[in-house]
Amino acid sequence: MDCGLHLFLQVVQGKWKINLLWAIHSGIKRPGKLQRKIPNASRRVLDAQLNQLMEHGLIKKVVYDELPLKVEYELTELGESLIPVIRLTAQWGEDHRNELQHLLKL
Amino acid sequence: MDCGLHLFLQVVQGKWKINLLWAIHSGIKRPGKLQRKIPNASRRVLDAQLNQLMEHGLIKKVVYDELPLKVEYELTELGESLIPVIRLTAQWGEDHRNELQHLLKL
């Protein structure tokens, strides 16, 4: 159990990784659109996080052979397998929304 | 969905928070024992993370009226509600263990 938890944390820790996976799953696949979806992160930081997600096999980069060059990110099979897990975490947040907003002073 | 995900990330992001919640759930409740369970983190960092978890209502500190002073952490009801979510993340790691260990070059 500890080992599974460790592996999960190894690949998703990093400030915007879960947000990026969720955004790509939601159909936001172009680098510029991901940046607009997560405006609090700099492009440099997002690129570094995207590279790590690729290195860890959760997403892949598809470069279309057209001009101007078109780049899109897609979830790999492994990345897709994380979606139900991320959905459950989001559901937990929704289920405790009032309490959490109060505690976080939002 | 985005909002729930945001709330979840707000309370669990921080390098050792999920590990701390899981350890406390597993019965490791004393500050010193938590430190030994997570030796890579300094005591100062763990204390800061424990304080944030308290602030966000996921754990509480119980101080026993004895000498030497005995301090234990416990999950709150809200913290307990996160356990099935953490269990699912760990299960995902277990289910993809070989693949992840290979990708992470462990």
Mean pLDDT of B79-89: 95
Contact B3 A57 (CB under 8 A): no
In whole angstroms, give the CA distance from residue A29 to residue A34.
7
Flag if B4 and A93 touch (Cβ within 8 Å): yes
B1 pLDDT band, cuts 50/70/90, is low
Across residues B89-100, what is the average pLDDT? 95
Neighbours of B64 (CB within 10 A): 10
Which positions in chain B touch A85 (Cβ < 8 Å)?
88-89, 92
Provide DSSP, A30-77: SHHHHHHHSTTS-HHHHHHHHHHHHHTTSEEEEEESSSS-EEEEEE-H
Determine contact, residues B62/B74, Cβ cutoff 8 Å.
Answer: yes
Work out the mean pLDDT of chain A and round it to a whole number.
Answer: 93
Could you give all domains of chain B from N- to C-terminal order, each with its CATH number? 2-80 (1.10.10.10)
Asked if residue A4 has pLDDT above 80, the reply is yes
pLDDT value at A42 more than 80? yes
Q: How far apart are the C-alpha atoms of A46 and A34, rounded to whole Å? A: 8
State the pLDDT at residue A99. Answer: 94
3-state secondary structure of B90: helix
pLDDT at A26 over 80: yes
Model confidence band, residue B15 (pLDDT cutoffs 50, 70, 90)? confident
pLDDT over 70 at A93, yes or no: yes
* Nearest chain B Cα distance for residue A65, angstroms: 28
pLDDT value for B25:
96
Q: How many CA atoms lie within 13 A of B39 on its CB side?
A: 1
Find the range with the poorest average confidence among A10-24, A37-51, B1-15, B86-100: B1-15
Per residue in B16-65, pLDDT tens? 999 999 999 999 999 999 999 999 999 999 999 999 999 999 999 999 99
Chain A residues in contact with B97 (beta carbon < 8 A)? 3-4, 7
CB-CB neighbours of A92 under 10 Å: 24
**Confidence at A87, pLDDT banded by 50, 70, 90:** very high
Give the tokens for residue B81. 């509600």
Would you state the pLDDT for residue B42?
Answer: 92
Interface with A, mutate which of B5, B10, B54 (most A CBs under 10 A): B5
